[in-house]
Amino acid sequence: MNRQVALGFGLGMLTTSVLIGCLTAQRPANPRPQTTAPAPAATQGVRGQGVPEFWVRPGYRVDLVAENLGNARFMEFDDKGNLYLSRPNRGDILTLRLRGNRYEIVNTFVDGYPTVHGMHFADGWLWFTQTGAIHKARDTNGDGKADEVQTVIPEGKLPRGGGHWWRPILVTDKYIYTGIGDSGNINDETETERQKIWRFNKDGTGKTLFASGIRNTEKLRLRPGTNEVWGVDHGSDWFGRTLGERPLQFQPITDYNPPDELNHYEEGKFYGHPFITGNKLPRIEYQNRKDIVELADKTVPPAWSFGAHWAANSFTFLTKDHFPGHKGDMFVACRGSWNRVQPDGYRVERVLFDPVTGRPYGSLTIVKTLVGNNRVLARPVDCVEAPDGSVLFSCDTTNRIYRISWVGGRNAQGN
């Protein structure tokens, strides 16, 4: 999350007690069915050789499958099992292949693209983004290096840069979806092209506003079997600062508010940022706007809420049977945030979806990378479902990729 802050309008009339009462609830208001996921018989999770002392939920195993990657950010598989890894600081995408139990670099797929970030494999091409452009590339001879690259949306058609410059991409049968977040923390950029999701024809024409009111959504995907566009969005920082908190010393409000969001993005809908957070609660800086109630009324609340400043960064839907009873659920990579006195986030979270309604109703922590004495052992950036149904997650601070797999009733420590 970016440290830029846009503060305004003073203290306002909203009291601290109201803020805490309204915002600390991290779950939807509507009752949800009880979790029915199978409880594994294992008494502890399993960590393979070289894996730090992560907390791992019983029934699951974490293995180190790639290392020494340098700025490992987002991942994507193609239809042949090649794993692509974007490295925005290096300006390249690596091609990795599974050899034994490890993914090894076989080539540099593309390079010379600073800020390369989001990826989506579709139509035989790897589509990828820079902060101000969208390209697609393919490898026709199987050596892991792209021999054809095309620019679909060139520089100048999209806003770029700023504090939240990460650009997502979703490619469907008909369209490209992309977006860009707030240039700072809570800037009013409603009259600009920022804080919005845009839809294009697949040739880069037909630019159409799809949804607005986002802060930092780094990945977009369809829920399997539907045309529903989903994404996770970072909540804003410094929520209680104008009420007299001591930043990063005493933050009883900011440490718990506002939540990060899991959103079902629909055409023409508004998702609140920068004016409204969580379940339709105004930011203090904007509460004196004459239209604040109307803005709250039209805001779509989160389909699911995570903890404040978890930095829910990316996700993958589960489509295979590797994890029993998990199909249709979502794994979410939470990188953790600097904007808390008491650290939190730093995990891979499972969000459970009701198979009847298609809506989330619960969540479980699968892997936690923040351990005793507030030691941060990894910052999960992205997660992706592998061809065998296991889930990989990346870490850009340790430059590694880990695999989460199911071991059911086994509780032996991996080595």
Q: What is the H or E stretch that residue 241 is in?
A: none
Q: Is 283 or 36 the better-scoring residue by pLDDT? A: 283
Q: Where are the domains of the chain?
A: 46-68+315-415
Residue 44: which pLDDT band, with cuts at 50, 70 and 90? confident
Residue showing tokens 């830029």 = 4
pLDDT confidence of residue 166: 84
pLDDT tens digits, 69-90: 999 999 999 999 999 999 999 9
More confident residue, 18 or 84: 84
Q: How much is the pTM? A: 0.88
Task: Report the mean per-residue pLDDT for the chain.
Answer: 90
pLDDT at 31 over 90: no
Residue 242, C-beta contacts closer than 8 angstroms, at least 6 positions apart: 7, 10, 11, 12, 284, 285
**Higher-scoring residue by pLDDT: 28, 178:** 178
Confidence category of residue 15, pLDDT binned at 50, 70, 90: very low
Nearest to 390, CA basis, from 378, 407, 369: 407
For residue 67, what pLDDT is reported? 97
* Model confidence pLDDT, tens digit, residues 128-172: 999 999 999 999 999 999 999 999 999 988 888 887 888 999 999
User: Higher model confidence: residue 210 or residue 23?
Assistant: 210
Per-residue model confidence (pLDDT) at position 159: 86
pLDDT of residue 323: 96
> Mean pLDDT over residues 363-380, rounded?
96
- 47, two tokens: 């960590």
Q: Say whether pLDDT at 20 is over 50.
A: no
Please state the rounded mean pLDDT for residues 380-408: 97
In this predicted structure, the answer to whether residue 35 has a pLDDT above a threshold of 90 is no
What is the Cα–Cα distance from 402 to 415, expressed in whole angstroms? 15
pLDDT per residue over 195-223, tens digit each?
Answer: 999 999 999 999 999 999 999 999 999 99
| Mean pLDDT score, 63-74 | 96
Measured distance CA(177)–CA(183) in Å, rounded: 19
- pLDDT exceeds cutoff 60 at 16: no
The backbone torsions φ and ψ at residue 292, rounded to the nearest 5 degrees and listed phi first, read: -65, -35
| Amino acid at residue number 41 | A
Mean pLDDT, rounded, for 396-411: 85
Q: In this structure, is the dihedral angle defined by the CA atoms of residues 353, 354, 360 and 363, taken in order, positive or negative?
A: negative
Asked whether the bond before 274 is cis by omega within 30 degrees of 0, the reply is: yes
Q: Return the residue matching tokens 């990657």.
A: 69
Range 290-307 burial, b when 16+ CB lie within 10 A, else e: eeeeebbeebbbbbbbbb
pLDDT digits (tens, 9 = 90+) for 257-269: 999 999 999 999 9
pLDDT at site 43: 61
Q: What pLDDT is recorded for position 401?
A: 99
| β pairing state of 380-385 and 304-308 | unpaired
Q: State the DSSP H helix or E strand holding residue 190, giving kind and residue range, or none if neither.
A: none
